[in-house]
Structure 1
């Protein structure tokens, strides 16, 4: 398996490139529109054919590069089932599996940050958590039908039950951290460690964060897979 973590400075977004080393067929997870040329260059340099662009959720802080990549490469755009998007080639739901040669991606529904959010477990070792679980944090729950109780259940009952050495690759990081593990997050994530469900809900309901700067632009664009 080929695995690369790519970063967009402006939105602090991680995009993940996953490919089967033998067939050279690739997936991009959470591409960013401003980084399409970078992503295409990496694909060319590594001799890869892009087959899918996967979204963990409908983003509010950046515009996805899926529509542009689809037009340039012929790849398929994939969103979570029940997402407010009318543009995708198909949707994925909890428990489904996507296979590329020797690479298998297991879909894990992790709603709460938004009401249609997915995590992707790659070959049982690399967990792409989107905004559901960040390194020592988690995504906010105060818009896009977010629900802190639902997020707590998804993280503690689905993600925290995976093997502790499972690698955690988040959708964002604002401190320069790149990877964690399930074991680390269970012990040291201040949003979850030592908190019960009620305490987590109280914490999340009183964060009082400003809305993302690009939310009014990003949400409608991402409901069209980044068509602008």
Structure 2
């Protein structure tokens, strides 16, 4: 598999390009609009045809590049079936499969950070969006977030995957690029709780400030970044 991990240094968002060596078909996960030129250039350099731009959820900290990528490449726009976003061309539900070349990506519904959050898995790679971070987890205090749902998603869906599953998060603010299910199970401080109630209290006590771009990002992302 062709694999690239890219970072937006303004929002510390990770974007992933996955491609099939044989067919040259590709997908991109959580693209950032500011970096559209970088994505187009890299796709051309790697001789890849973009089939889908996948967003793990409606983001609050950056504007998606999905709409611009569709304009530039003709790719489809994928979000979870629970999303309220317009302009999607394909909605996936829990267990659905997305194919690109000889590879498949499985959609895993993981509400909690938002009510439309999904993770995506191919081979032993798990793209967790903002549901699970390295030594952390996505906040649950806006966009219909739910700490109890997040606990269930993380503990009963993600942490039950094989320990050697590689975790690729949607963000990291400390320079870390990947982890594993076993590593997070052992070392993630937010997972060292004994109940959903304890997790909910931990999340409620964070008292985080609103994301810098929430007033711009959410409305734009509810249109998949399409400029009308």
Q: What's 1:8 paired with?
A: 8
Q: In structure 2, the residue corresponding to 1:114 is in which secondary structure? A: coil
The alpha carbon displacement at 1:68 in A equals 0.5
Q: CA RMSD in A?
A: 0.8
The alpha carbon displacement at 1:90 in A equals 1.4
Deviations 1:139-191 (A, max 9, x none): 00000000001000000000000000000000000000000000000111001
C-alpha separation in 2, matches of 1:130 and 1:93: 16
2:182 pairs with 1:183: yes
2:43 pairs with 1:39: no
Q: What's 1:217 paired with?
A: 216
Q: What's 2:78 paired with?
A: 78
C-alpha separation in 2, matches of 1:146 and 1:184: 25
Contact 2:14 2:30 in 1 (8 A): yes
Q: In structure 1, the residue corresponding to 2:132 is in which secondary structure? A: coil
Contact 2:29 2:53 in 1 (8 A): yes
Q: What's 2:139 paired with?
A: 140
C-alpha separation in 2, matches of 1:195 and 1:44: 48
Given the two structures, how large is their TM-score scaled by the length of structure 1? 0.98
Unaligned runs of 5+ in 1: none
Q: In structure 2, the residue corresponding to 1:83 is in which secondary structure? A: coil
C-alpha separation in 2, matches of 1:107 and 1:209: 29
C-alpha separation in 2, matches of 1:217 and 1:71: 21
Q: What's 1:19 paired with?
A: 19
C-alpha separation in 2, matches of 1:90 and 1:107: 12
Q: In structure 1, the residue corresponding to 2:133 is in which secondary structure? A: coil
Deviations 1:48-99 (A, max 9, x none): 0111000100000000001011001100111111111111011111000111
The alpha carbon displacement at 1:101 in A equals 2.1
Q: What's 2:154 paired with?
A: 155
Equivalent residues, number = 227
Unaligned runs of 5+ in 2: none
The alpha carbon displacement at 1:102 in A equals 1.7
The alpha carbon displacement at 1:227 in A equals 2.2
C-alpha separation in 2, matches of 1:75 and 1:156: 34
The alpha carbon displacement at 1:195 in A equals 3.8
Q: What's 1:128 paired with?
A: 127
Q: In structure 2, the residue corresponding to 1:191 is in which secondary structure? A: helix
